[in-house]
Amino acid sequence: MDLKLFGEVFVTLLVITDPPGMMPIFLALTGPLPARDRNRAAWQAVALALGVIVIFAVAGQTLLDYLHVDLPALQAAGGLLLVLVALELLTGKTDGPSTDATSNIALVPLGTPLLAGPGAIVATMLFVQQADGLGDYTAIAVAILAVMVAVWIVLRFSGGIVKILRPGGIEVLTRIAGLLLAAIAVQLIADAVFAFVTHYVNMT
């Protein structure tokens, strides 16, 4: 296994997924939930993110080509999803704690597009395209697993912060997380628009 490649993939994906930055958003979305549901949301989100990244690593370019979808379109779609979630957080119109709500939160926006977003997908696809031999593929696979484990650990043990913040603190955190999500969404959409414009300018 190529340890240098492992380090590159691990650091790149860890920076993109940003577990410490994910924590306030995760707590804002799952703070009202019981500890058991919050823990389930953590592993469901990580499992979905892992599955999405693996699928795009193995067949991402083929899938996008088959659907005639460019990466900027995927990026813009992720931004629109985050806009909807951000508006719910900012207006306080989130779903009440329930099993369905837990699953929904784990899938969108935690699993995708926050953890397995355009950045993580593109980075993984590039690493796979540049890989040469079984050793490189093994390094990439182990690095992806290591990043997902690190993210799960951060989310799994963030519950202690909920006890400190109490309901009032969670309410404030929810509004802050909504603002952060809105900013991330606008940046994703802006980057997608810039990529589209650059692509068509280069074609002409």
On the question of pLDDT at 96 being above 70, the answer is: no
Tell me: pLDDT of 90 over 70. yes
How many domains is the chain built from? 1
Q: What is the pLDDT of residues 127-139, one digit of tens each?
A: 998 898 999 999 9
Range of the domain at 32: 3-203
Interatomic CA distance for residues 184 and 5, integer angstroms: 28
* pTM (predicted TM-score): 0.79
pLDDT higher than 60, residue 202: yes
Got the DSSP string for 127-184? HHHH--SHHHHHHHHHHHHHHHHHHHHHHHTTHHHHHHHHHHHHHHHHHHHHHHHHHH
| 101 pLDDT tier (thresholds 50, 70, 90) | low
User: For 104-126, what is each residue's pLDDT tens digit?
Assistant: 788 888 898 889 988 899 899 98
